[in-house]
């Protein structure tokens, strides 16, 4: 799967030096929004984590607002919001913005997950997608249950996280309830398979600071919440006792994405920005999923103005290895944007990142 980049809107030629590689070029391709969104009656959304499935990849988006856009791009919100939205992107898709095939009903885009009977009124809750993986012939998607308690952008809190399963990649995902409980002990924004394990990366707060937490599980036991083990320190050491877990990488905010890059022969971790560096995305590397991980070896900065408005925060920075070119020398990453005075009128953007490996 290769994305053609002829319609890029911003190119940053600065060279940034790290210990492992240089970023020699960043090519900001613009918003993901296109006719595929219009056909699904989607105006805006955030998120955008992807995982490979047979024939392509599934992309999972968070809060998704329905409606339409005028010829000049002005939004008309109608029909409310839902989450998560999922879309299939075929291996042979080459255009930009991507030619997504969204999961839809007769009224446009529809959530891939259902609320449980005790999660009412449904207007109080959201189901936000986390990391996903295709394993054991099934598609799995982790998710967070979110409670909304106001009308502000930050008026929400997490209730817990769970796991959903589907036999069809672009289909409805069943929320699993082993032992009668939907809660799982992990909240991963990235799931990768390596060395006979599934490794699950997420963000955890520890002593007032955010950092990366790591768990692992045997692929055949992904549906058993009691089978997960948690990183407890270098070695590596893992334990079934979550209370003994340690941070894998400290001072990492927001969300985290981890992939294997064949060009670098390293795992690459991308992390979202913080309020002190609101437009920055950072990169760490390691030889193994459990590290040791380097401090940030490279950074990129999203331009100050995107989609006609000032960028106040960059979040949900996700790498998409299925779109990498030249064996990983050119990486594709998407991010979500908090835009000044935009409300919920914002869509994910993609950037191509060209690397030069140091010898």
Query: What is the per-residue pLDDT across 138-149, written as a single tens digit (0 to 9) for each?
Result: 999 999 999 988
What's the burial of 325, exposed, middle or buried (CB within 10 Å: 0-12/13-18/19+)?
middle
Residue 315, pLDDT > 90, answer yes
The position carrying tokens 């995107």 is 306
Task: Quickly state the pLDDT bin for 323 (edges 50, 70, 90).
Answer: very high
Residues 189, 257 contacting (CB under 8 angstroms): yes
> What is the residue range of 247's domain?
10-357
Tokens of 314: 């960059």
Q: Give pairs for 321-324: CB < 8 Å, separation 24+.
A: 321/52, 321/259, 321/260, 321/261, 322/1, 322/50, 322/52, 322/56, 322/57, 322/89, 322/91, 323/1, 323/2, 323/3, 324/261
SS3 breakdown of the chain: % helix, strand, coil, rounded to 5?
Answer: 5, 55, 40
Specify which of 154-158, 251-255, 273-277 reaches the highest per-range mean pLDDT.
Answer: 251-255
Res 322: pLDDT = 97
Mean pLDDT across the stretch 154-173?
94
Res 6: pLDDT = 43
Task: Quickly state the pLDDT bin for 272 (edges 50, 70, 90).
Answer: confident
Res 3: pLDDT = 61
Res 209: pLDDT = 80
**Strand 75-82 relative to strand 280-286, pairing:** unpaired
Element (H, E) at 39: helix 35-39
Mean pLDDT across the stretch 327-350?
96
Tokens of 3: 């994305």
Residue 196, pLDDT > 80, answer yes
Mean pLDDT across the stretch 161-177?
98
Q: What's the CATH code of the domain at 346? A: 2.115.10
Domain contains 174: yes
Mean pLDDT of the chain: 92
CA-to-CA distance for 103 and 101, rounded, in angstroms? 7
pTM score, whole prediction: 0.93
Res 121: pLDDT = 83
CA-to-CA distance for 231 and 214, rounded, in angstroms? 5
Domain contains 4: no
Domain contains 349: yes
CA-to-CA distance for 167 and 52, rounded, in angstroms? 14
Cα end-to-end distance, the chain, whole Å? 28
Domain contains 265: yes
Residue 13, pLDDT > 50, answer no
Mean pLDDT across the stretch 237-253?
94
Res 1: pLDDT = 60
Residues 356, 22 contacting (CB under 8 angstroms): yes
Res 86: pLDDT = 98
Number of compact structural domains in the chain: 1
Domain contains 42: yes
Domain contains 24: yes
More confident residue, 205 or 353: 353
Domain contains 14: yes
Residues 161, 80 contacting (CB under 8 angstroms): no
Res 208: pLDDT = 77
Domain contains 3: no
């Amino acid at each position: 799967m290769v994305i053609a980049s002829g319609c890029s809107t911003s190119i940053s030629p600065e060279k940034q030096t790290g210990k492992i590689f240089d970023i020699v070029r960043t090519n900001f391709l613009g918003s993901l929004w296109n006719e595929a969104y219009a056909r699904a009656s989607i105006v805006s959304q955030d998120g955008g984590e992807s995982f490979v499935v047979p024939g392509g990849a599934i992309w999972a988006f968070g809060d998704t607002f329905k409606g339409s856009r005028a010829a000049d791009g002005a939004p008309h919100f109608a029909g409310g919001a839902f989450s998560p939205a999922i879309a299939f992107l075929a291996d042979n898709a080459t255009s930009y913005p991507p030619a997504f095939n969204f999961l839809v009903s007769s009224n446009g885009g529809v959530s891939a997950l259902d609320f449980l009977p005790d999660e009412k009124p449904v207007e109080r809750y959201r189901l936000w997608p986390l990391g996903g993986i295709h394993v054991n012939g099934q598609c799995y998607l982790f998710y967070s249950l979110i409670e909304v308690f106001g009308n502000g952008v930050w008026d929400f809190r997490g209730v817990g996280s769970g796991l959903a399963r589907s036999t069809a990649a672009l289909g409805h995902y069943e929320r699993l309830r082993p032992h009668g409980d939907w809660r799982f002990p992990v909240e991963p924004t990235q799931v990768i398979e390596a060395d006979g394990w599934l490794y699950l990366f997420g963000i955890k707060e520890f002593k007032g600071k955010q950092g990366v937490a790591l768990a692992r599980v045997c692929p055949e036991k992904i549906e058993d919440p009691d089978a997960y083990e948690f990183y407890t320190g270098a070695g590596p050491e893992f334990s079934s006792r979550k209370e003994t877990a340690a941070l894998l990488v400290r001072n990492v905010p927001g969300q985290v994405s981890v992939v294997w890059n064949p060009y670098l022969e390293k795992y690459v971790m991308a992390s979202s920005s913080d309020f002190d560096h609101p437009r920055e995305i950072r990169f760490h590397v390691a030889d193994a999923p459990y590290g040791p991980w380097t401090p940030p070896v490279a950074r990129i900065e999203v331009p100050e103005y995107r989609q006609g408005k000032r960028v106040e925060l960059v979040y949900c920075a996700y790498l998409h290895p299925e779109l990498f070119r030249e064996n990983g020398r050119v990486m594709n990453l998407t991010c979500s944007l908090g835009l000044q005075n935009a409300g919920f009128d914002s869509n994910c953007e993609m950037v191509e990142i060209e690397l030069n490996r140091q010898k």
